[in-house]
């Protein structure tokens, strides 16, 4: 065909690469519109779309909110300063199945004079310590359910569908600032 292209009406296809080069089927079907070079890219050797490698600055590839619960997902948020059960954070399992919590991490950027209990609870209104028992909030740093589990804490816990992971401080955690992250996996088939 003329210039190495095949035409069907206004549809133009590059005969060498097989790529559709016209917008007559909509811009979302064009290779450069699909590959955003942040999440997806075109392999320079094969010409196929692939997930972008995270890179040295860790900015490429899939973001955590795009990963399936079957692959394991990180649920994250900011710490609160409430005194009630779940006042530091309260995350509900709304994913439609029981999950296995394999890690809970708390990053404290501004400390408070309190300890923290973190665990699973059926309604999010009761303190629980089956993941972290009496974790120390008095110093800037990181606590987790592997190295800082305390007396009742565990390295893993079933998080039933519609239940909560609650974080409750021993006293009002005035000035507490930081973040939490929960890693959970769906083991169902």
Measured CA to CA in angstroms, residue 30 lies from 21, 25, 38, 86, 169 at distances of 7, 9, 16, 48, 53
Residues 6+ apart with CB under 8 A from 66: 39
Do 71 and 42 share a structural domain?
no
The residue among 97 and 38 whose pLDDT is bigger is 97
Residue 56 lies in a domain: no
Stretch 3-11: mean pLDDT: 73
Report whether 100 contacts 113 (CB < 8 A).
no
Residue 58 lies in a domain: no
Stretch 25-38: mean pLDDT: 62
Query: Which CATH number does the domain housing residue 115 bear?
Result: 2.60.120
* pLDDT band for position 33 (cuts 50, 70, 90): low
pLDDT of residue 25: 56
Q: How many domains does the chain have?
A: 2
> Domain of 76?
66-185
The residue among 68 and 80 whose pLDDT is bigger is 80
Do 89 and 179 share a structural domain?
yes
Q: Is the pLDDT of residue 34 over 80?
A: no
- Residue ranges in the chain assigned as alpha helix (H): 31-34
- The span from the CA of 13 to the CA of 158, in Å, is 52
Task: List the structure tokens of 137.
Answer: 């909030």
Q: How far apart are the first and last CA of the chain?
A: 51
- The span from the CA of 81 to the CA of 113, in Å, is 11
Do 179 and 92 share a structural domain?
yes
Do 29 and 98 share a structural domain?
no
Do 71 and 44 share a structural domain?
no
* Exposure letters 22-38 (e unless 16+ CB within 10 A, then b): beeeeeeeeeeeebeee
What torsion do the CA atoms of 109, 111, 116, 119 make, to the nearest 10 degrees?
Answer: -10
Do 89 and 23 share a structural domain?
no
Locus of tokens 């094969």: 46
């Amino acid at each position: 065909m003329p210039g190495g292209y095949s035409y069907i009406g206004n549809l133009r296809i590059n005969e060498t690469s097989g790529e559709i080069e016209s917008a007559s089927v909509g811009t979302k079907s064009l290779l450069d519109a699909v590959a955003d070079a942040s999440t997806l890219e075109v392999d320079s050797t094969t010409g196929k779309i692939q997930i972008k490698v995270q890179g040295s600055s860790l900015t490429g590839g899939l973001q955590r909110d795009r990963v399936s619960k079957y692959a394991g997902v990180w649920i994250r948020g900011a710490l609160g300063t409430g005194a009630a059960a779940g006042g530091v954070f309260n995350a509900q399992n709304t994913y439609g199945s029981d999950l296995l919590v394999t890690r809970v991490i708390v990053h404290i950027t501004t400390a408070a004079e309190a300890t923290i209990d973190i665990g699973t609870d059926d309604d999010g209104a009761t303190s629980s310590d089956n993941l972290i028992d009496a974790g120390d909030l008095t110093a800037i740093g990181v606590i987790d359910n592997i190295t800082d589990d305390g007396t009742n804490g565990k390295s893993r816990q079933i998080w039933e569908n519609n239940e909560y992971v609650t974080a409750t401080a021993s006293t009002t955690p005035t000035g507490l600032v930081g973040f939490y992250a929960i890693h959970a996996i769906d083991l169902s088939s």
